[in-house]
């Protein structure tokens, strides 16, 4: 039976792809954001421009809806989230709180919340050779300032709504999602898109600025795997926060080499130690993802980066 779905944040990268994914599944989709998608028109059945920091906007958004995928957030790359703690925390807590309560009052049957690997404590991420982060490693709490704290608080709010009201929530902790149709310039872009842009704008053997010494490590998940994982989690009975990412960790220097290779260019790295670089190492432990969803992300980094680089290259050139 066709469901009526609300996707918030649908002017942004992940939610825009999720709209297309759920439309292909045959669902009726209402998309909501404060801005429309930047690079192509939304495929949603209905697109509403709403400010979800306002309670009445959230009440309007959930009318006549069966399920909510709440991905709206004030966020960006490491440069952005380390510079605007108050704005990010305030805006996101307002959106998350109003959306949860509006959805509960509207008797939404299931609610997805997009959390982040930024909830994990700095003290577990001080090596670039660490083991994958397990979901229980989020406590004792010491998340990323601003963005990480509001994500962790909102995870707990979902838990309280389930405990106190029987409201069904699903929570995924995203680990560095990348792909085409994402922000690649302007300050809110993340590392893969920023590096793709720099290399696309470069000539053979040009210098490329890399933030930090480039030995900080991360795992990166292609957008198609991300939306598949979101959908599978929503169909599951797993109500606790779940990692959603790959467990293949690479350094930023290695990521530059992968992008340079798919671009066909030789690139020289110039490291800027004054720029923010985040935690020293972060990787996803996918044991619970595999156990509860019977699935893990499948797209290799070099294949996803080829698609991403070719799209960003076409935009900047």
Model confidence pLDDT, tens digit, residues 173-217: 999 999 999 999 988 899 999 999 999 999 988 999 999 999 999
Domain residue spans in the chain? 4-177+220-247+287-293, 179-218+249-283+300-316
Q: Check: CATH 3.40.50.720 for 4-177+220-247+287-293?
A: yes
| pLDDT category of residue 261 using cuts at 50, 70 and 90 | very high
Q: Using CA atoms, how far apart are residues 61 and 249, in angstroms rounded to an integer?
A: 38
Strands 249-251 and 217-219: antiparallel
Question: SS3 for 312?
Answer: helix
| pLDDT category of residue 131 using cuts at 50, 70 and 90 | confident
Q: What does the pLDDT read at residue 187?
A: 85
Question: SS3 for 96?
Answer: helix
Q: Are 217 and 282 in contact (CB under 8 A)?
A: yes
**Which residue, among 52, 41, 46, has the nearest Cα to 31 in the 3D structure?**
46
Rg (CA), the chain: 19
Q: What does the pLDDT read at residue 104?
A: 98
Q: What does the pLDDT read at residue 18?
A: 98
Which H or E run includes 250? strand 249-251
Among 19-33, 146-160, 184-198, 225-239, the range scoring the smallest mean pLDDT is 184-198
Q: Using CA atoms, how far apart are residues 120 and 175, in angstroms rounded to an integer?
A: 11
Please list the active-site residues. Answer: 147
Residue indicated by tokens 């809806």: 65
What the block records as the tokens of 162 is: 């389930």
Q: What does the pLDDT read at residue 277?
A: 84
More confident residue, 317 or 120: 120
Residue 96 Cα distances to 151, 155, 220, angstroms: 9, 10, 25
Length of the chain (residues): 317
The average confidence (pLDDT) of the chain is 96
Q: What does the pLDDT read at residue 184?
A: 94
On whether the pTM is more than 0.85, the answer is yes
| pLDDT category of residue 226 using cuts at 50, 70 and 90 | very high
Q: Using CA atoms, how far apart are residues 68 and 61, in angstroms rounded to an integer?
A: 10
Q: Using CA atoms, how far apart are residues 213 and 280, in angstroms rounded to an integer?
A: 10
Q: What does the pLDDT read at residue 260?
A: 96
- 179-218+249-283+300-316: CATH number: 3.90.25.10
Supply the angle between the helices 147-165 and 85-105 in degrees, to the nearest 10: 20
């Amino acid at each position: 039976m066709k469901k009526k779905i609300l996707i918030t944040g649908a002017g942004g990268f992940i939610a825009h792809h999720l709209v297309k994914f759920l439309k292909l599944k045959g669902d009726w989709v209402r998309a909501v954001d404060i801005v429309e998608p930047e690079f192509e028109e939304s495929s949603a059945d209905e697109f509403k421009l709403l400010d979800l920091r306002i309670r009445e906007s959230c009440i309007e958004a959930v009318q006549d809806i069966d399920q909510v995928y709440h991905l709206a957030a004030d966020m960006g790359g490491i440069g952005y989230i380390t510079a605007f703690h108050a704005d990010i925390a305030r805006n996101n807590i307002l959106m998350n709180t109003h959306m949860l309560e509006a959805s509960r009052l509207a008797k939404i049957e299931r609610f997805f919340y997009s959390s982040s690997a930024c909830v994990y404590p700095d003290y577990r991420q001080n090596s670039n050779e660490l083991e994958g982060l397990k979901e229980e490693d989020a406590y004792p709490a010491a998340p990323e300032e601003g963005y990480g704290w509001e994500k962790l608080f909102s995870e707990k709010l979902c838990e309280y709504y389930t405990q106190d009201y029987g409201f069904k929530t699903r929570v995924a902790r995203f680990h560095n999602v990348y792909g085409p149709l994402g922000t690649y310039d302007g300050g809110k872009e993340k590392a893969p898109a920023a590096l793709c842009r720099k290399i696309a704008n470069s000539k053979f053997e040009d210098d490329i600025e890399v933030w930090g010494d480039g030995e900080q490590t991360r795992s990166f998940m292609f957008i198609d795997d991300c939306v598949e994982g979101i959908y599978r989690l929503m169909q599951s009975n797993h109500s606790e926060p779940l990692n959603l990412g790959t467990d293949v960790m690479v350094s930023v220097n290695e990521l530059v080499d992968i992008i340079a290779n798919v671009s066909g260019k030789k690139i020289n790295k110039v490291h800027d130690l004054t720029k923010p670089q985040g935690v020293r190492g972060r990787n996803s432990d996918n044991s619970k993802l595999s156990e509860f969803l019977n699935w893990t992300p499948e797209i290799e980094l070099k294949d996803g980066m080829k698609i991403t680089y070719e799209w960003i290259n076409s935009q900047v050139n």
